[in-house]
Amino acid sequence: MTFQSHMSNPVRSSLARAVGSPVIRTVSLLALCAAYVQGPLTKIFDFNGALAEMDHFGLHPATFFAVAVIVFELAASSMVISGFLRWAGALALAGFTLLATFIALRFWEMAPGIDRMMATNAFFEHLGLAGAFVFVATFDFPRGAGR
């Protein structure tokens, strides 16, 4: 089949319209950023827990890192969802996700067992999430950059 015959299929073209709709795009971006909205809100409502998390991962001073993470995640998520410099927000969240993954999910240092298996799965899920942010950035990256 040719490209033209694929596009003339009514089911396929309806699906393409639905998937490409602004509502689906916004809901998808909200879903992609969900952890980066939920996480900071949880930290705000349980700031002592946020400080304990920073201490757990050796990030000192804990107050500075907790506030920085809250502000960063909310700002970058807002950029991705709103479309304001979406590419920059998406690349920032990709980098943040990779850094946080290598800090928090060091499965290779864990003893074999269920905890290591869960950390391994989460590690690779986070790699996929970082890749999704890079993919989002490619659609919004300024044209002409690097030419």
How confident is the model at residue 77, as a pLDDT? 98
Helices (H), 9-145: 10-19, 22-45, 47-56, 62-82, 86-104, 114-140
Q: What band does 3 get if pLDDT is binned at 50, 70 and 90?
A: low
Residue with tokens 């991962």: 57
How confident is the model at residue 37, as a pLDDT? 98
Q: What is the distance between the alpha carbons of residues 134 and 83, in angstroms, rounded to a whole number?
A: 15
Q: What is the distance between the alpha carbons of residues 31 and 13, in angstroms, rounded to a whole number?
A: 24
Tens of pLDDT, residue by residue over 40-89, are: 999 999 999 999 999 999 999 999 999 999 999 999 999 999 999 999 99
Does the pLDDT value for residue 122 go beyond 70?
A: yes
* Interval 134-142 mean pLDDT: 91
How confident is the model at residue 147, as a pLDDT? 40
* Interval 12-40 mean pLDDT: 92
